[in-house]
Amino acid sequence: MKIKLERKGELFIISAPSGSGKSTLIHMLLKEVENLEFSVSYTTREPRKGEVNGKDYFFVSEEEFKKMIENDEFIEYAKVFGKFYYGTAKKQVYSKIEKGKDVIMDIDVQGAYQIMQKKPIDFTSIFIIPPSLEELRNRLVSRGRDSMEEIEKRLNTAKNEIKYLKYFDYVVVNDILEDALSDLKAIIFSERRKVKRLVNIESIYKQFTEE
């Protein structure tokens, strides 16, 4: 019988300055890498047209959300624009990890930093950065979604966020999309070969010595 490496899943926290191509890369990863799932957040805002409960978000009332906070059910949560709550529930992530699935969590730099400080769970952190501030400006301009004022604000935020690089485990420069994607895949695949993540070392020994 051939050896099978059995392992716990891993939580990958992915952050990036706005405009770095993080969402595109995560989308491609989820499409191309098996056994990798996206962590679905809880929110108190209303579902937008086409959004599916349990797929895009778990839509809950503010009362329910606050009860979850009280019960310490979140890895992280935040009140955005002082209005709606957003948060990642521990049980969502744990249930996937226990089944050996890897989980991707898309989170802003401040949120990632909070998790790194509190360490409510074991995770691997990846920081995606654009190849330069100039290139980031070009991308933000060419996608034509924001006003020039908004773009300058985003660039200033990026300048601040880049300082958090040192807190992350891995860095991926998104210059050429395919290269960045292949870097991310290498990170996920190599983490899957970590001995410390194996849950069946004893049975591997047994299999090898009793055959």
- The residue within the footprint of a copy of itself, chosen from 94, 131, 139, 146 (CB under 8 A), is 131
Q: Considering the rule CB under 8 A, would residue 191 count as an interface residue with a copy of itself?
A: yes
Question: For a copy of itself, which stretch binds (CB under 8 A), given 62-70, 90-98, 104-112, 167-175?
Answer: 167-175
Closer to a copy of itself by Cβ: residue 95 or 203: 203
Q: List Cβ<8 Å contacts ≥24 apart for 199-207.
A: 199/6, 199/7, 199/8, 200/4, 200/5, 200/6, 204/3, 204/5, 207/1, 207/3
Q: Considering the rule CB under 8 A, would residue 81 count as an interface residue with a copy of itself?
A: no
Determine which helix (DSSP H) or strand (DSSP E) holds 169, and give its type and residue range.
none
**Spatial CA neighbour of 63 closest among 48, 36, 42, 49:** 42
Q: Considering the rule CB under 8 A, would residue 176 count as an interface residue with a copy of itself?
A: no
Distance CA 106, CA 104 (A): 6
Distance CA 116, CA 75 (A): 11
- The residue within the footprint of a copy of itself, chosen from 116, 135, 139, 157 (CB under 8 A), is 135
- The residue within the footprint of a copy of itself, chosen from 35, 132, 138, 203 (CB under 8 A), is 132
Q: Considering the rule CB under 8 A, would residue 57 count as an interface residue with a copy of itself?
A: no
Cα separations (Å) of 66 from 85, 86, 137? 9, 11, 39
Q: Which residues bind a copy of itself (CB under 8 A)?
A: 1-3, 5, 127, 129, 131-135, 158-159, 162-163, 165-166, 168-173, 175, 182-183, 185-187, 189-191, 193-196, 198, 201, 204-205, 207-209, 211
